[in-house]
């Protein structure tokens, strides 16, 4: 029985194993087809073909990967033709291909990705890196190398690091490059940089040396000297050869090439004119960290390639891409997935309208979505480092090496990673630290620039179009010390132009310019309109007394301010009418009352403390009252004749005399100011009183003060009166047409130097300065700012100021904000004196109470309790009023009497009888 059961179980186990083996044999095909679309004649095509074949060989030699299935790679040569590449993709989809590596260019990828979406065939490319291919429109397209979005971010970071603001890009105008340049423009804009010009070339097969020559000639005539080349290897090298013939590889230029140049340098040897033409160029290369796997593959490369071509990073990505597909297929088949295809000819024919194309052989990969998900969930370590994707299908930790071409090779000057930006430390060592994109953390090593120099090029020059810099100058009719035209010599001079000319002479290069006056010669021009002429390209810059205000900084760039400025209020002054009660003005009523009260309080406190021991504080009540009043008020002049003998009285008197000293000094200073210094009419105290009043306010024609008063302070425009000259200022103030004038500080200083009957009210209520205006992102603005700082540091700026704006003494603005002295300014002193008086009285009464108990101990009396309390109070008051010596004498007599009575009581009765 037991033996039969064992045989039955063994038969069941063998049956299950046989069924599982048959099932596995059915689900795992002998051959799994993958395809690749490349132009094998290109550098990346050659390297990729060798690397992919090596990867397929390694996958097939490891039976644990596909479990006996053989991976077959078919490579289609697109032969530089987009049409042939598309046809190759269609052929792969006719042969039950589960995945396609490629295509090599983004143009083909955009078209084939649409077909891959329909047939569910994943497409993986490490060379078609157009950022738009990562959109949701192409779910079956995966970029296995860092997207060009990250390379353009690295370029933008490097441009910002070196302080450049404008660049020129040279690239073939095709799908392969257009999307990447759009991404570059966006990343530059985020850093307040921009593409100044796009030199468009025909696609690779159509671009000629003559076309490249024509475009580079245009570039050489432009302002920017920072040039970025994003092209195919053949076109890119020709761009540099032509640039070298045009002397555009000399000093002053900055050339940046994208990763195509590093691919050329890694895989081929450059020499002769080509090597000379790329000296000093900066280029990028996808970063692949060092590892044992990578070193082992490098050691195999010479054998794999037979020395035909050297390895570059894209060969490593090609190898890893094959393994990525293989590992995803392993997971797919291990999970029971079957390699099967469904015919989609009817749907495709309907979509194409039933044409002559043979679409019946195209079929949909049933497991395409699952295989795609397996690829995106990849998390392994390959030759290029960690292989994984984020939620946006980007490879994680995209990074680039930054190379500087020197000789026939290059030197590495740093790295860029999406994690921490520019660094001289390999990115993989930074992943364990918090990301840090701060400007202070961005670092690169020294660069050898074109022209074999280590000095960083300025990055821009004046265009070679023979035109001078058109500088707008306000044609002022007043305050001509700032800027004006000499009618005799037709020269423009003044404080502002002197600063500009002195600063521009400090620049290490020549600046051709011409001054152009703006204005009708009848009134000062509107400075806002003058600034707007820069944005409309009428002027290349504006030099003059231009205030730097918010609205203007939104449309132009300003240099460093060369003089401080701010709005102030100017009003007429007059002496106050004489008054017999002027001596009361220094203190407010509350201050007078509290001060007088303390004179009395201190007199009373000192009288209490001194009355018992000091004869000068004793006498008839009338005399004592006079003494209190006299002593208190005489301390104001330190003329009290009564001496204090008690320690508490002296302490209170010292503190009080200190308070009196502070009060009398403040009173004297305030009264002196009232009687000798000119004062304003009480109604105008500064900008606050102007806002709350309804008086008319004058302002200078053309100044930003009008907009500030109306827009920022909401003052009605009907109250604002335009004035053009200092003479109009004075006349309007004297005749009462305006109650005050609001103008900028430098004008006011010059005005007051000639009109001493006016003065500044309150404080400046805006802070700013004057600068020179240039178009947005103008490099000249930055260089002039540095020159202005140099003038300020060496004292030259002050000399120019003294030459043109030296004012007389009476013109120095007097900031008047005179107010009476309030109690709040002195309450601390009064509090200190009050506490001293309280503590002195407390100590004094405690001492008196102790003495009273000592001199008059309590005695039992038969009278009522209320009568006893009254007697005690009378005794206490009498004791307090008595002089200290009298109280002491009474206490001594009483003590003698008590001793005598005690002795009599102790005598025996018989002795008393004898006596």
Give a three-class secondary structure readout of 111-176: HHHHHHHHHCCCEEECCCCCHHHHCCCCCCEEECCCCHHHHHHHHHHHHHHCCCCEEEEEEECCHH
Q: How much is the pLDDT for 875?
A: 63
Q: How much is the pLDDT for 333?
A: 92
pLDDT category at 146 given cuts 50, 70, 90 is very high
Asked whether residue 858 carries a pLDDT value surpassing 70, the answer given is no
pLDDT, one tens digit per residue, over 579-621 is 677 777 788 888 888 888 888 888 788 777 776 666 666 667 7
User: For residues 40 and 52, what is the distance between their CA atoms, to the nearest angstrom?
Assistant: 12
Q: How much is the pLDDT for 827?
A: 83
Q: How much is the pLDDT for 826?
A: 81
Give the chain's radius of gyration (CA, Å).
Answer: 49
* pLDDT mean across residues, the chain: 84
Q: How much is the pLDDT for 638?
A: 61
Across 232-248, average pLDDT = 94
Residue 674: closest CA among 762, 742, 584, 750: 584
Share of the chain above pLDDT 90, in %: 50
Across 647-660, average pLDDT = 81
Q: How much is the pLDDT for 648?
A: 79
Q: How much is the pLDDT for 600?
A: 84
Phi-psi sector, 731: left (phi>0), alpha (psi -120 to 50), beta = alpha
User: For residues 51 and 321, what is the distance between their CA atoms, to the nearest angstrom?
Assistant: 10
Across 885-892, average pLDDT = 59
Across 660-680, average pLDDT = 73
Share of the chain above pLDDT 70, in %: 82
User: For residues 702 and 709, what is the distance between their CA atoms, to the nearest angstrom?
Assistant: 13
Asked whether residue 412 carries a pLDDT value surpassing 50, the answer given is yes
* Comparison of pLDDT for 444 and 856, the residue scoring more: 444
* Comparison of pLDDT for 397 and 578, the residue scoring more: 397
Across 384-403, average pLDDT = 94
pLDDT category at 148 given cuts 50, 70, 90 is very high
Q: How much is the pLDDT for 575?
A: 56
pLDDT category at 100 given cuts 50, 70, 90 is very high
Q: How much is the pLDDT for 424?
A: 95
Residues 6+ apart with CB under 8 A from 77: 38, 39, 40, 41, 45, 84, 88
Across 865-886, average pLDDT = 62
Strands 409-417 and 421-423: antiparallel
pLDDT category at 400 given cuts 50, 70, 90 is very high
Asked whether residue 331 carries a pLDDT value surpassing 80, the answer given is yes
- Provide the whole-model pTM: 0.68
In which residue are the tokens 């599982």 written?
Answer: 20
Asked whether residue 357 carries a pLDDT value surpassing 60, the answer given is no
Asked whether residue 807 carries a pLDDT value surpassing 70, the answer given is no
- The per-residue DSSP string of 282-303 comes to EEEEE-----HHHHHHHHHHHH
Q: How much is the pLDDT for 15?
A: 44
pLDDT category at 26 given cuts 50, 70, 90 is very low
pLDDT category at 27 given cuts 50, 70, 90 is low
Across 215-239, average pLDDT = 93
Q: How much is the pLDDT for 565?
A: 92
Find the helix or strand (DSSP H, E) in which 784 lies: helix 779-794
Across 444-450, average pLDDT = 95
pLDDT category at 80 given cuts 50, 70, 90 is confident
pLDDT, one tens digit per residue, over 668-677 is 888 777 666 5
Q: How much is the pLDDT for 645?
A: 67
Give the 3-state secondary structure of residue 697.
strand
Residue 527: closest CA among 773, 778, 785, 780: 773
Least confidently predicted of 168-172, 305-309, 758-762: 758-762
- The per-residue DSSP string of 529-578 comes to HHHHHHHTTS-SEE-SS-B--HHHHTTEEE---SEEE-EEEEEEEEPPPP
> Distances in Å between the alpha carbon of 582 and those of 18, 537, 585?
122, 63, 5
pLDDT, one tens digit per residue, over 477-521 is 999 999 998 888 888 999 999 999 999 999 888 888 999 999 988
Residues 6+ apart with CB under 8 A from 742: 567, 568, 569, 570, 687, 690, 697, 698, 699, 705, 709
Q: How much is the pLDDT for 542?
A: 96
User: For residues 715 and 569, what is the distance between their CA atoms, to the nearest angstrom?
Assistant: 14
Q: Are 320 and 384 in contact (CB under 8 A)?
A: yes
Across 263-284, average pLDDT = 94
């Amino acid at each position: 029985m037991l033996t039969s059961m064992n045989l039955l179980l063994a038969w069941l186990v063998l049956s299950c194993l046989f069924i599982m083996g048959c099932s596995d044999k059915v689900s795992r095909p002998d051959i799994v087809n993958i395809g690749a679309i490349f132009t094998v004649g290109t550098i990346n095509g050659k390297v990729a073909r060798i690397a992919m074949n090596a990867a397929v060989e390694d996958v097939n030699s490891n039976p644990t990967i596909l479990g006996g299935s053989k991976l077959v790679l078919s490579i289609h040569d697109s032969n530089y033709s987009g049409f042939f590449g598309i046809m190759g993709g269609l052929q792969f989809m006719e042969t039950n291909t589960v995945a396609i590596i490629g295509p090599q260019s983004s143009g083909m990828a955009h078209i084939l990705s649409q077909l891959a979406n329909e047939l569910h065939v994943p497409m993986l490319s490490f060379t078609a890196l157009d950022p738009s291919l990562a959109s949701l429109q192409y779910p079956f397209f995966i970029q296995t190398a860092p997207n060009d979005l990250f390379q353009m971010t690295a370029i933008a970071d490097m441009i910002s690091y070196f302080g450049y603001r404008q660049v020129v890009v040279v690239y073939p105008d095709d799908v392969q490059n257009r999307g990447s340049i759009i991404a570059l423009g966006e990343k530059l804009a985020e850093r307040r940089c921009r593409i100044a010009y796009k030199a468009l070339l025909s696609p690779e097969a159509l671009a000629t040396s003559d076309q490249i020559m024509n475009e580079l000639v245009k570039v050489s005539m432009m302002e920017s000297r920072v040039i970025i080349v994003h092209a195919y290897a053949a076109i890119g090298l020709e761009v540099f050869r032509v640039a070298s013939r045009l002397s555009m590889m000399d000093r002053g230029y900055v050339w940046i090439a994208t990763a195509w140049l590093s691919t050329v340098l890694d895989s081929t040897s450059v020499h002769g004119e080509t090597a000379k033409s790329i000296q000093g160029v900066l280029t990028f290369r996808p970063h692949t960290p060092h590892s044992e796997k990578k070193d082992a593959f490098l050691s195999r490369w010479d054998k794999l390639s037979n020395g035909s071509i050297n390895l570059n990073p894209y060969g490593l990505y090609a190898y890893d891409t094959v393994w990525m597909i293989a590992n995803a297929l392993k997971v797919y088949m291990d999970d029971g997935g079957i390699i099967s295809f469904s015919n989609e000819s009817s749907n495709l024919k309907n979509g194409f309208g039933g044409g002559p194309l043979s679409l019946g052989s195209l079929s949909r990969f049933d497991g395409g979505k699952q295989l795609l998900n397996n690829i995106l969930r990849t998390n392994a370590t390959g030759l290029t480092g960690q292989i994984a994707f984020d939620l946006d299908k980007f490879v994680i930790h995209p990074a680039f090496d930054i190379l500087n071409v020197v000789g026939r090779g290059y030197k590495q000057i740093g790295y860029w990673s999406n994690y921490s930006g520019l660094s001289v430390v390999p990115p993989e060592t930074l992943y364990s630290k918090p990301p840090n994109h701060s400007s202070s953390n961005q670092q690169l090593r020294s660069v050898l620039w074109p022209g074999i120099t280590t000095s960083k090029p300025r990055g821009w020059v004046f265009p070679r179009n023979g035109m001078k810099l058109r500088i707008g100058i306000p044609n002022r009719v007043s305050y001509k010390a700032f800027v004006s035209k000499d009618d005799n010599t037709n020269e423009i001079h003044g404080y502002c132009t002197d600063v500009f000319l002195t600063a521009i002479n400090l620049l290490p290069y020549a600046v051709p310019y011409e001054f152009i006056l703006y204005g009708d010669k009848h009134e000062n021009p509107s400075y806002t309109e003058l600034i707007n002429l820069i944005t409309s390209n009428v002027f290349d810059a504006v030099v003059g007394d231009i205030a730097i205000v918010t609205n203007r900084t939104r449309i132009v760039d300003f240099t460093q301010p060369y003089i401080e400025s701010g709005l102030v209020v100017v009003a007429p002054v007059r002496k106050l009418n004489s008054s017999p009660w002027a001596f009361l003005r220094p203190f407010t009523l509350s201050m007078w009352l509290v001060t007088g009260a303390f004179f009395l309080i201190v007199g009373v406190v000192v009288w209490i403390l001194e009355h018992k021991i000091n004869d000068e504080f004793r006498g008839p009540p009338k005399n004592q009252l006079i003494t209190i009043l006299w002593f208190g008020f005489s301390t104001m002049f330190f003329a009290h004749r009564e001496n204090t003998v008690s320690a508490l009285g002296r302490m209170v008197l010292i503190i009080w005399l200190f308070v009196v000293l502070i009060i009398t000094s403040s009173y004297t200073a305030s009264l002196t100011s009232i009687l000798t210094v000119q004062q304003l009419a009480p109604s105008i105290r500064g900008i606050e009183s102007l806002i709350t009043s309804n008086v008319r306010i004058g302002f200078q024609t053309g100044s930003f003060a009008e907009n500030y008063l109306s827009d920022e302070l909401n003052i009605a425009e009907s109250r604002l009166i335009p004035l053009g000259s200092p003479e109009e200022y004075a006349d309007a103030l004297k005749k009462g047409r305006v109650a005050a004038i609001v103008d900028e500080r430098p004008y006011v200083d010059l005005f007051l130097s000639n009109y001493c009957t006016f003065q500044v009210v309150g404080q400046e209520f805006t802070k700013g300065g004057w600068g020179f205006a240039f178009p947005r992102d103008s490099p000249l603005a930055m260089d002039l700012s540095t020159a202005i700082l140099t003038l300020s540091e060496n004292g030259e700026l002050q000399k120019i100021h003294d030459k043109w704006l030296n004012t007389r003494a009476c013109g120095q603005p007097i900031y008047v904000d005179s107010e009476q002295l309030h109690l709040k300014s002195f309450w601390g002193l009064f509090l200190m004196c009050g506490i001293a008086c309280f503590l002195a009285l407390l100590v004094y009464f405690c001492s008196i109470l102790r003495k009273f108990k000592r001199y008059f101990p309590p005695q039992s009396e038969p009278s009522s309790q209320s009568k006893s309390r009254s007697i005690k109070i009378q005794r206490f008051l009498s004791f307090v009023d008595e002089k200290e010596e009298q109280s002491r004498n009474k206490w001594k007599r009483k003590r003698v009497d008590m001793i005598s009575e005690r002795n009599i009581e102790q005598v025996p009765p018989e002795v008393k009888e004898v006596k």
